[in-house]
Structure 1
Amino acid sequence: MLQRTLFHLGELSLPVYSTNTVIVGSGAAALNCAEHLYRFFQERGETRPEELLCIVTAGLGAGASNCSGSDKQTYYKLGIQGKTPDTPHDFALTLTQGGCTHGDLALIEGENSLREFYHLVEKGVPFPHNERGGFVGYKTDHDPRQRATSAGPWTSRFMVQKSLAQVRRFGIPILAPYEAIALLTVGEGKARRCIGVLAVNHKDAEEEGFGLTLFNAENVVMATGGPGEMYAVSVYPRYQMGAHGICFEAGAVAHNLTESQFGLASLTPRWNLSGTYQQVIPRYYSTDPDGSNPREFLNDYFPSMRALATAIFLKGYQWPFDPDKVAGFGSSLIDILVEHERRDLGRRVWMDFTRNPMATGRLEPFSLSDLEPEARLYLERSGALQETPIQRLERMNPPSIELYRNRGVDLTREPLEIAVCAQHNNGGFAVDRWWESNVSHLFVIGEQAGTHGVKRPGGSALNAGQVGGLRAAQRIAHAYGPRVPSVSEFLSAVGDTVAAKLEAIRAGIRRAESAPRRAEEVQREIQQRMTDFGGVSRSLEGAARAVDAASRLLVEIRRDGLRIERRRHFLRQLRVEAMCVAHLGYLTAIRDLIARGSGSRGSHLVADPKGILPHPALGSEWRFGPENPALREEILEVWLGEDGEFHTRAVPVRPIPESEFWFENTWEAYRSGRVFE
């Protein structure tokens, strides 16, 4: 049981929980970190390790790892099957190939990949193996080998379920629903240290103390995922807020926030349409807003049905939008054409699995025999030569159909409305080789940690989340130890901060009635700004305007407040303000990267009137500048300064370590504990 005391603030008595480590978040990365930390404390001789950590979450099971997936959600690991050799160094080369990735972190993710994969296997995640017990792989996007594996559409959900069961067996406390609203720190600059968390207990939010709860901890691990709710067009789970705003305000430095992934997904329900959803070659068409006037819009841009059908097929493992895959009627031309229909023409776009692509104009009828060899051979080897896409999908991946049926959509009868959606942020908060941020004792893992660069193989984020949780737990248990901080010292250090936050909440409620704008309205403005200026299509002029607008909005929020209907909705005010802070940080990074001459890279285009036109039939507004490869050797960091403004700087990429280790020396360093320094 956690140590519990009270903090007396005026007439209020706020609960204070004391422990060694607070893990904020309850996704696959957070739960895995808790498992490892329990084990490491136990191995160090702690008789009640469950009292040394707790999980604090706003919604158990509400995050991306439990609610998101794809046709067969990929887990990317070191290759272990077949005749093709693989090494952690080769793995790191793949992770760093797109640029802007620290080599030491990439190598650590490779060296710990199998340890974490087999940890998942032993917990019961049903990764398929052959009759010899070998885990067969397949090729995913940005993958030169067949390192990918999958447990089906819900791979990460299996990871969450199995890890949660283990956490519960260990008796690790899970406090829910508690929403973190501030990180508590002491010191300034490089001496800043995280010493706890201020959260709101949703169940007590209507009480006089607003449910405010303090967590006194030696270490804090942030694992709240990406800022999915920051975009208007998003495939993240609804209400996936992330916690980037409070990390910025605590002094944490972020990097690579410019590098988000965008790809084709259904809007209702929100789901990635990668893999077999594309490889079965469904029909794409667009309509007027009311669903009338259907048109085979892709046909106008491809020279033959063979080229069109093959491009659709290739979207399966070239799923994220990629400027390098536009030319020559590449698969990413489809993303641009979908965006053109929706954004420029105001039409809706659909995928229909009941029909093959339909021939119009000069295009010949669709035929499975008239595909490029790569597509034809894949379908042949998969036994997927049936007459219609839905029949091919039933052959290749029945769970992908059942998934939609369970969400009220019958793919055998109805189409999916689609868009190019925000799907993942490769960047996040900068971490060292132990996933510790620049703020001492503040660790960041999962998508919230920015260990990826411009491009990454599909499924590598799941591997990174597991490895990050392991590394944070190692550092905490073996370097920082099991100490539980003094309550009196903690309250002395944070009392004024908590009092100020309490007064800010009260002031926000007082201003709510006269505030000119509703919280929901402002949130929609932020979301639309991010989709318009931080999405798949960007420009320097647009990003600069967006930064100015975001800065003005933050001033207005803090001056005028946000309108809410009831007192208990004060959390909406806090969330929208934190989202405004976060989107200002993102847009500042986007503006400054474009100003450095980055060009189009990763999963976004940068407009250039003298640049490349994706297709002669598109307008000049679609011209984009090529990537500047020289900038692959640097990473753009962004932080919130003491002056209240966001600042950026470019830092060199750390190379992949080339050091070699002698066993006896490593053994001695391990026994002495120096390997954890």
Structure 2
Amino acid sequence: MIESSIKIMGYDIKVYSLNTVVVGTGAAGLNAADRLSAFGQKDIAIVTENLKAGTSRNTGSDKQTYYKLTLAGSEPDSVYDFAETLFEGLCVDGDIALCEAALSTQCFLKLAELGVPFPRNRYGEYVGYKTDHDPKRRATSAGPYTSKYMTKCLENSVKQKNIKIFDKMQVIKILTDGNKLLGLLCLDVQNSQNPNRRYVAFNCKNVIYAAGGPAGMYADSVYPFSQRGASGIAFEAGIMGKNLTEWQYGLASVKPRWNVSGTYMQVLPRFISTDKNGNDEREFLADFFKYKGDMLSKIFLKGYQWPFDVRKVSNGSSIIDILVYIETCIKGRRVFLDFSRNPGDSMIDFSKLSSEAKDYLEKSGATFGTPIERLMHMNAPAVKFYKEKGVDLTSEPLEIAVCAQHNNGGLSINKWWQTNIEGFFAAGEVSASHGVYRPGGTALNAGQVGSTRAAQYIAANRKGAPADSAVFAGQAAYAIADAITMGEAVFSDCDNVREIWDNAAKRMSRFGGAIRSIENIAKAAEEVRNELMNFNKTVKVSSASGLCRVYRLHDMLLSQYVYLEAMLDYVRCGGKSRGSALYTDKNGIKPHDALPDLFTFTLDDGTRGDMVQEVIYQNGKCEFIWRKVRQIPKDDDFFENVWRTYRKNGNIY
């Protein structure tokens, strides 16, 4: 790494020149750096806004899942079977699915070797269980904090290798020249008050972008507050998006942000709503369900049918999500889970439950008492978790909403996780390796596989120094000046960033979340577009310490605009309700007469499952293309042929 400096618009800007910069310190980013070093690539560094922030380190679930090839028992499995499961999720590229299947064991065992406590039996088998959309027993878990364990173990490995970490460094501009990467411009958050230390540039040949999903877009979100994402500046740099319409939403607590899946639902809590001040309490689910047994059975099913799924609205548990959405987003009320009392404030007749719910609770020995008593019996750590976060479920209700949880789309990548910009790779949730549906836990595997593949490719094919610093300065000067101009334009004696952010995030949850109508999406997109056009005139911050929030807001609005435009294009091209998104269709069917017309929809018939929507953002507009998915490769795998090719300098690229 070589250090130099340049001067642009009167600002002294420090420049670090090196081969590869990894952006992000979640599980994907740390693994990328760790792999690069192990593969012999030493001229590398990590850039992160906050080493201890992000989704990997600060999130989890009732039993956070890691999805990998079956490694126990007699049930047959294969790499190709695994790839087919991923491919069947619709809108999935087959070569990426095959890579995620092929490297799943390698990546999983590396984590186990680093110390992630995945359970194994006395014979050494890593036993598994079935997760959603999983035909085998490929899932495993290290408990509620699987991704946190992963991050800690990978961080230790990175630090042992003495890999340079630039902390408190916020990427605000991706620098490109046509379809080629130049580097990055960052805001030095700790030195933002000093104009000559405020901006730092990285002149690099490669970037592995592991910035996470665009969590900041939504007000109702299960992402940790420290996770905001940085997809907008990637779109701004000309990086292609893919499958942006495909998200996963579900019920989660608002504070702390946490999925209320698994036993939180299976113990059958009360669902209550109040006005904004916590008054006028009522059990709103009882207004909808004719039979209490049916209501309780649907609540139970939310435990392992946690994501909102349009296929489960008419006759399944996703009606619960819709009823919560009506209370919060349409009526403007607040919704809580109450574990201290039974629904209807009376003893439950467990014989009235569906056989599935009744049998499960009987086998668990939990057909007694109140929800909190059942939860303490079935999963005491679930109660302890909230107690440690300041919420005592024994005595106080837990506020919830229908929240954004995971983006299945993102930046479009090839089988080496490289984007359409040469030298720019994307790994983890920011990359679009998933489709409409995915087995639970595949995100953790995808982040490890993608970062491994990117590191592998760079170490083999993209070694060497970046451009000369003088050449870099000349090529990047205009883009750097553009970012600095934004920073200079927003200074004022007032600060409105928080207000604009909150309004934009609430609008996105209301119109670009699980429930979508083309009229509302179009209106929201136009509002975001106007905010972007007038950004330098309307956004104000009172001191340089607030610049980090200004650049985050700009990135978030860019993301919102591209995602909303993708939703519009999807509907205009004939797309219907699928996955975790219900699109209002006046010519469709209303699943229940008691619901508002907003919930009239037509279920997607799957015929578009072999098509991928991709988008390029240029000059303030979005251009869309639709293409066929890449099929799962079926190459010649005769050993002697593969071995001969591999011996020729390991040429697998």
Name the amino acid aligned to 1:440: E
Q: Does 1:31 align with 2:30?
A: yes
Q: Does 1:622 align with 2:599?
A: yes
SS of 1:629's equivalent? coil
Q: Does 1:665 align with 2:651?
A: no
SS of 2:547's equivalent? helix
Q: Do the aligned residues in 1 keep the contact of 2:529 with 2:561 (CA within 8 Å)?
A: yes
SS of 2:534's equivalent? helix
Name the amino acid aligned to 1:38: S
2:180 corresponding residue in structure 1:
193
Q: Do the aligned residues in 1 keep the contact of 2:12 with 2:197 (CA within 8 Å)?
A: no
Q: Does 1:111 align with 2:102?
A: yes
1:552 Cα deviation (Å)?
A: 1.5
Q: Which of 409, 434, 448 is equivalent to 2:416?
A: 434
SS of 1:117's equivalent? helix
Q: Do the aligned residues in 2 keep the contact of 1:19 with 1:485 (CA within 8 Å)?
A: no
Relative to structure 1, the CA distance from residue 587 to residue 75 in structure 2 (aligned partners, 3 Å threshold; closer, same or farther) is: same
CA distance in 2, matches of 1:580, 1:344: 23
1:149 corresponding residue in structure 2:
140
Q: Deviations over 1:612-643 (max 9, x none)?
A: 222222232321222142211211111112x3
Q: Do the aligned residues in 2 keep the contact of 1:141 with 1:319 (CA within 8 Å)?
A: no
Q: Which of 536, 545, 555 is equivalent to 2:533?
A: 555
Q: Do the aligned residues in 2 keep the contact of 1:216 with 1:490 (CA within 8 Å)?
A: yes
CA distance in 1, matches of 2:509, 2:644: 53
Relative to structure 1, the CA distance from residue 345 to residue 484 in structure 2 (aligned partners, 3 Å threshold; closer, same or farther) is: closer
CA distance in 2, matches of 1:121, 1:353: 36
1:368 corresponding residue in structure 2:
350
Q: Does 1:14 align with 2:13?
A: yes
Q: Do the aligned residues in 2 keep the contact of 1:5 with 1:17 (CA within 8 Å)?
A: yes
1:359 Cα deviation (Å)?
A: 6.6
SS of 1:93's equivalent? helix
Output aligned runs, 1:304-315, within 5 Å.
304-315=291-302
Q: Does 1:611 align with 2:588?
A: yes
Q: Do the aligned residues in 2 keep the contact of 1:53 with 1:173 (CA within 8 Å)?
A: yes
Q: Do the aligned residues in 1 keep the contact of 2:490 with 2:541 (CA within 8 Å)?
A: no
Q: Do the aligned residues in 2 keep the contact of 1:153 with 1:399 (CA within 8 Å)?
A: no
CA distance in 2, matches of 1:308, 1:64: 33
Relative to structure 1, the CA distance from residue 350 to residue 466 in structure 2 (aligned partners, 3 Å threshold; closer, same or farther) is: same
Relative to structure 1, the CA distance from residue 533 to residue 345 in structure 2 (aligned partners, 3 Å threshold; closer, same or farther) is: closer
1:202 corresponding residue in structure 2:
189
CA distance in 2, matches of 1:316, 1:108: 31
Q: Do the aligned residues in 2 keep the contact of 1:140 with 1:318 (CA within 8 Å)?
A: no
2:567 corresponding residue in structure 1:
590
Q: Which moved more, 1:298-307 or 1:263-272?
A: 298-307
Q: Which of 468, 481, 485 is equivalent to 2:463?
A: 481
Output aligned runs, 1:370-385, within 5 Å.
370-385=352-367
CA distance in 2, matches of 1:500, 1:228: 25
State TM-score, norm by structure 1.
0.92
Q: Which of 629, 638, 641 is equivalent to 1:653?
A: 629
2:120 corresponding residue in structure 1:
129
Output aligned runs, 1:137-176, within 5 Å.
137-176=128-167
SS of 1:630's equivalent? coil
Relative to structure 1, the CA distance from residue 301 to residue 507 in structure 2 (aligned partners, 3 Å threshold; closer, same or farther) is: closer
How many residue pairs get aligned? The number is 653
1:450 corresponding residue in structure 2:
432
Output aligned runs, 1:32-111, within 5 Å.
32-41=31-40, 49-50=41-42, 52-111=43-102
Q: Which of 644, 647, 666 is equivalent to 2:620?
A: 644
1:46 corresponding residue in structure 2:
none
CA distance in 2, matches of 1:73, 1:448: 19
Q: Which of 239, 260, 274 is equivalent to 2:247?
A: 260
2:503 corresponding residue in structure 1:
525
1:295 corresponding residue in structure 2:
282
Aligned alpha-carbon RMSD (Å): 2.0
Q: Which moved more, 1:264-273 or 1:545-554?
A: 545-554
Q: Which moved more, 1:389-398 or 1:420-429?
A: 389-398
CA distance in 1, matches of 2:636, 2:287: 56
Q: Deviations over 1:416-450 (max 9, x none)?
A: 11110111111000000000000000000100001
Q: Do the aligned residues in 2 keep the contact of 1:633 with 1:653 (CA within 8 Å)?
A: yes
2:218 corresponding residue in structure 1:
231
Name the amino acid aligned to 1:83: S
Q: Do the aligned residues in 1 keep the contact of 2:216 with 2:505 (CA within 8 Å)?
A: yes
Name the amino acid aligned to 1:259: E
Q: Do the aligned residues in 2 keep the contact of 1:229 with 1:239 (CA within 8 Å)?
A: no
Q: Which of 402, 419, 422 is equivalent to 2:404?
A: 422
Q: Deviations over 1:485-519 (max 9, x none)?
A: 4333323322343234334422333xx35x9x822
Q: Do the aligned residues in 2 keep the contact of 1:33 with 1:473 (CA within 8 Å)?
A: yes
Q: Do the aligned residues in 2 keep the contact of 1:301 with 1:615 (CA within 8 Å)?
A: no
CA distance in 2, matches of 1:283, 1:331: 15
Relative to structure 1, the CA distance from residue 374 to residue 54 in structure 2 (aligned partners, 3 Å threshold; closer, same or farther) is: same
Q: Does 1:495 align with 2:477?
A: yes
Q: Do the aligned residues in 1 keep the contact of 2:13 with 2:197 (CA within 8 Å)?
A: no
Name the amino acid aligned to 1:104: D
Name the amino acid aligned to 1:56: V
Q: Do the aligned residues in 1 keep the contact of 2:172 with 2:483 (CA within 8 Å)?
A: no
1:382 Cα deviation (Å)?
A: 4.2
Q: Which moved more, 1:282-291 or 1:431-440?
A: 282-291
Relative to structure 1, the CA distance from residue 277 to residue 487 in structure 2 (aligned partners, 3 Å threshold; closer, same or farther) is: same
1:460 corresponding residue in structure 2:
442
2:391 corresponding residue in structure 1:
409
CA distance in 1, matches of 2:121, 2:293: 35
Q: Which moved more, 1:612-621 or 1:115-124?
A: 612-621
1:210 Cα deviation (Å)?
A: 5.2
CA distance in 2, matches of 1:399, 1:376: 23
Relative to structure 1, the CA distance from residue 384 to residue 486 in structure 2 (aligned partners, 3 Å threshold; closer, same or farther) is: farther
1:350 corresponding residue in structure 2:
336
Name the amino acid aligned to 1:271: W
Relative to structure 1, the CA distance from residue 498 to residue 608 in structure 2 (aligned partners, 3 Å threshold; closer, same or farther) is: closer
Q: Does 1:564 align with 2:541?
A: yes
Name the amino acid aligned to 2:323: L
Name the amino acid aligned to 1:238: F
Q: Do the aligned residues in 2 keep the contact of 1:257 with 1:426 (CA within 8 Å)?
A: yes
SS of 2:603's equivalent? coil
Q: Deviations over 1:506-562 (max 9, x none)?
A: 2333xx35x9x822222123212211221111111111222222211211214x141
Name the amino acid aligned to 1:17: Y
Q: Which moved more, 1:196-205 or 1:609-618?
A: 609-618
1:350 Cα deviation (Å)?
A: 1.2
Q: Do the aligned residues in 1 keep the contact of 2:55 with 2:226 (CA within 8 Å)?
A: no
SS of 2:123's equivalent? coil
CA distance in 2, matches of 1:404, 1:323: 30
CA distance in 2, matches of 1:652, 1:227: 26
Relative to structure 1, the CA distance from residue 210 to residue 554 in structure 2 (aligned partners, 3 Å threshold; closer, same or farther) is: farther
SS of 2:595's equivalent? coil
1:396 corresponding residue in structure 2:
378
Structure 1: which 5+ residue stretches go unaligned?
A: 42-48
CA distance in 2, matches of 1:466, 1:73: 16
Name the amino acid aligned to 1:615: H
Q: Which moved more, 1:622-631 or 1:432-441?
A: 622-631
SS of 1:32's equivalent? helix
State TM-score, norm by structure 2.
0.96
Percent identical pairs in the alignment equals: 44
